Amino acid sequence: MEYLPAKLSPAESAALVERIEASFETNGFGLWAVEVPGETECIGFVGLAPVDFDVFFAPAVEVGWRLARAFWGRGLATEAARAAVAFGFQEHRLREVVSFTTGENRRSRAVMERLGMRHDPTEDFDHPLLAEDDPLRRHVLYRLNPGASHVSPR
């Protein structure tokens, strides 16, 4: 949660689950719960979500992830995100998938780069849902098209 504005309250978490479930019904995709068989049932989520705020690159579909810190550094976010992107391109014929984070979030940016996503600094933006004085407001945008070489699920 280091690069997110705040931890979610129980009510906010419940609302997030409702939005995720609604996305599966409406769009046919959403954020998947991620398990590590033999270790634990749920370590977080990875998947696809529509960009639902006013920004120059919307409408768009974002690939995103949030995993428990104990599971970082094992390639799990990259593996699951690669599967989510492949699903979006193959099953939903998406023309592009985006991802974004604060410029300082090197771990997430590394996942984006391992996926084959490309960053154009001229597209960096101020996140419209964050206050003007929020130090997390400035974001970097990464893009991936179906022709990129890293989109297979394996």
String of DSSP letters for 21-68: HHHHHHHS--EEEEEETTTEEEEEEEEEEE--S--TT-S-EEEEEEE-
Average pLDDT of adjacent 10-residue blocks, the chain of 154 residues = 62 81 94 92 94 96 94 95 97 97 95 97 96 94 83 46
Report how many domains make up the chain.
1
Q: Give the separation between CA 64 and CA 17, rounded to whole angstroms.
A: 15
Q: Is residue 20 part of a domain?
A: yes
**Domain interval for residue 102:** 10-144
Q: Is residue 149 part of a domain?
A: no
Question: Which CATH number goes with the domain that contains 15?
Answer: 3.40.630.30
pTM of the model: 0.88
| Per-residue pLDDT, 1 | 47
Q: Is residue 1 part of a domain?
A: no
| Per-residue pLDDT, 4 | 57
What three-state secondary structure class fits 113? helix
Q: Is residue 4 part of a domain?
A: no
Q: Is residue 127 part of a domain?
A: yes
